[in-house]
Amino acid sequence: MRPPAPSSRLAVVVLAVYVCLPGPPRASSAQFTEAARKYVANRVQVSAEAGKIDNAGRQAISLSLQIEKGWHLLANPSGLPDLERYETRVTVEGKGVSAVKVVYPRGIEVEDEVLGKWKKYEGKVGIRIELQRDGRAGEPVEIRVRHWPQETSKFCGIPVTKTIRVR
């Protein structure tokens, strides 16, 4: 059996020194991801205003997303089937909710050399939610907004889910 080449030994020594020497504390990937998620999550503010429930049990909720300048969200639909999982998505759950219809705005069309045509949301975005409620109309509902805020000059984002409750 031949001994390892000098260059291989040097690489092992350098790696051992780097890994074993004490240095400044390093954040774990989980800590980094959580810090990044909090930073990104604050780029979009979510609020909702619930309308009155009519005699037929119908209720309209106006959801508002305020996206910080220099950031955007992928619209729903975005026009890019491969990126459907990154589109802004709203879900509603609650006792007494029998039907939910989410009406998304069109979005701003973007022409990209690589991706082609796609749509995004910027600034203030209004999303309408139409609910059908049964006898438990006074129960609160939980609205979840899942989105991937992205800096306009960059492509990558981190998934964020914001939850709010309305009556």
pLDDT digits over 106-158, tens only? 999 999 888 889 999 999 999 999 999 887 667 899 999 999 888 877 656 78
CA distance readout (Å), 8 to 4, 11, 14: 6, 5, 10
Residue 4 is assigned to a structural domain of this protein: no
Range of the domain at 152: 45-166
In a domain, 30, yes or no: no
Q: Which residue has the higher pLDDT, 32 or 83?
A: 83
What is the number of structural domains in the chain? 1
Average pLDDT of the chain is 81
Q: Is the pLDDT of residue 89 over 80?
A: yes
Q: In this structure, is residue 17 part of a structural domain?
A: no
- Residue 26 placed within a domain: no
For the question of whether the overall pTM of this predicted structure is more than 0.85, the answer is no
77 inside domain: yes
33 in a structural domain = no
- Please state, as a whole number, how many other Cβ atoms lie within 10 Å of the Cβ of residue 143: 24
* Inside any domain, residue 50: yes
Q: What is the CATH number of the domain that holds 98?
A: 2.60.40
